[in-house]
């Protein structure tokens, strides 16, 4: 079923979604801020960037939960919130405010979402917990959870073991119970209720960014295209990723401005896409195993080459050569001494940079230490 949304581009859709979110937040006393390069452009130039495919904002977890309740109880069925408790595949605790009348399917992310409409991404402003081991524990669980919801073949080596363990736990306890426990435990560890509570915390995180609670978290009220938007001073004037997060690789996207995503998900095309994704996962699994095998072979080969160098140096630095170098040191001939030791020094440095344990020649090392002391480290400078 085609719907006349009146939009001409994805940019228009996400811009209107942003203005809608701003209206909801202002009417319900919720706070947010634009983030990343998008925030800098809006604040410094007074306009939107020339190119963007999606927009990210940040809110405290308390305000996010209130926003979810508002959208879920609204009579507007053309909008929907996707978050961790209604999407077991959600990345961390990232939230999406979606337009149900449109379609945006990233081919590589099929099966990772429940809503495939065009969206505004909402990140959580978390407090950074004092206990590192608890934070690491939650991070491991989140990685395992993400892996447990997908085919194990598609998990990388960092997620594979946690995924296997958590997959067994999830099967025993039930998906909904485990998902809610993970959500509540993370809230207990990092939860911030309202924007006004932010300065009470020493350190905060938004995505991968770490901020100080003492920074200026006051919200600037900017007017863009006749609409009001919030931007926090703490997120401005920062060195940001030269590859903006609001840019996507359109070649991987299936998008439609007038076709609801549910109609496409129910069509025959999805069978072909799922089959293609399954083939891709199998291919990646084979490639990953092959890459690991290549890495093992390369490490063995490098170790062989290092050992060959060690044996060569044992023959090269025989008793006669060692005595010659010692005489050069005694004669204060730094230049000639450096020439005699250069090959050994270079090989040792090369193998250490490659993380290959270099087997040192004790007699040569003794002469190097003597030379460095004698020439006041001139050889190394």
Q: How many CB atoms lie within 10 A of CB 116?
A: 25
Is residue 37 within 8 A of residue 49, CB to CB? The reply is: yes
Element (H, E) at 56: strand 55-60
Between 245 and 260, residue with greater pLDDT: 260
Is residue 100 within 8 A of residue 77, CB to CB? The reply is: yes
Residue 92 pLDDT class (50, 70, 90 cuts): low
Residue linked to tokens 């083939």: 279
**CA pair distance 96, 233, nearest whole angstrom:** 24
DSSP 26: H
Q: If DSSP codes are grouped into helix, strand and coil, which group holds residue 209?
A: strand
Q: What are phi and psi of 191, to 5 degrees?
A: -60, 135
Is residue 325 within 8 A of residue 341, CB to CB? The reply is: yes
DSSP 128: P
Using CA of residue 199, residue 61, residue 66, residue 39, what is the dihedral sign? positive
Q: Encode pLDDT of 26-83 as tens digits.
A: 999 999 999 988 888 888 888 888 888 779 999 999 999 999 999 999 988 899 899 8
Q: Encode pLDDT of 3-19 as tens digits.
A: 777 778 888 999 999 99
Give bridge partners of residue 124 from the DSSP assignment: 59
Q: Encode pLDDT of 74-85 as tens digits.
A: 988 899 899 877
Counting residues of the chain whose pLDDT is more than 90, the rounded percentage is 19
Crossing angle between the packed helical segments 319-330 and 334-353, to the nearest 10 degrees: 120
Instruction: Name the pTM for this structure.
Output: 0.66
Across the range 157-168, mean pLDDT stands at: 68
**CA pair distance 202, 100, nearest whole angstrom:** 39
Q: Encode pLDDT of 295-339 as tens digits.
A: 878 888 888 888 888 888 888 899 888 999 888 888 888 888 888
Average pLDDT of the residues of the chain: 81
């Amino acid at each position: 079923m085609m719907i006349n949304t009146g939009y001409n581009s994805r940019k228009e859709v996400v811009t209107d979604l942003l203005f809608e979110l701003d209206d909801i937040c202002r009417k319900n006393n919720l706070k947010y801020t634009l983030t990343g390069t998008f925030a800098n452009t809006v604040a410094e130039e007074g306009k939107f960037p020339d190119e963007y495919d999606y927009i990210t904002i940040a809110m405290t977890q308390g305000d996010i939960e209130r926003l979810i309740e508002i959208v879920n109880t609204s009579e507007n069925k053309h909008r929907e919130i996707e978050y961790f408790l209604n999407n077991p595949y959600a990345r961390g605790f990232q939230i999406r405010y979606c337009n149900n009348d449109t379609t945006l399917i990233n081919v590589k992310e099929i099966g990772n979402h429940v809503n495939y409409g065009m969206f505004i991404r909402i990140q959580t402003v978390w407090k950074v917990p004092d206990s590192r081991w608890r934070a690491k524990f939650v991070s491991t669980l989140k990685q395992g959870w993400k892996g447990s919801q997908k085919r194990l073949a598609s998990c990388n080596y960092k997620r594979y073991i946690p995924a296997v363990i958590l997959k067994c736990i999830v099967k025993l306890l039930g998906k909904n119970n485990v998902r809610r426990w993970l959500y509540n435990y993370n809230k207990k560890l990092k939860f911030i209720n309202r924007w006004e509570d932010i300065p009470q915390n020493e350190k905060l995180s938004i995505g991968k960014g770490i901020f100080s609670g003492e920074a200026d978290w006051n919200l600037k009220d900017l007017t863009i295209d006749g609409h009001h938007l919030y931007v926090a001073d703490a997120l401005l004037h920062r060195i940001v990723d030269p590859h903006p997060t609001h840019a996507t690789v359109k070649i991987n996207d299936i998008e439609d401005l007038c076709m609801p995503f549910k109609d496409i998900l129910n069509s025959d095309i999805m069978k072909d896409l799922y089959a293609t994704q399954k083939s891709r996962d199998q291919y990646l699994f084979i490639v990953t195993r092959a890459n690991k095998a290549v890495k093992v072979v390369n490490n063995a080969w490098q170790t062989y080459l290092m050992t060959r160098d060690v044996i060569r140096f044992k023959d090269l630095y025989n008793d006669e050569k060692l005595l010659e170098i010692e005489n050069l040191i005694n004669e204060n001939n730094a230049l000639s001494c450096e020439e005699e030791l250069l090959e050994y020094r270079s090989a040792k440095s090369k193998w250490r940079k490659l993380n290959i344990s270099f087997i040192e020649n004790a007699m040569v090392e003794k002469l190097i230490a003597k030379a460095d002391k004698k020439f006041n480290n001139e050889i190394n400078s």
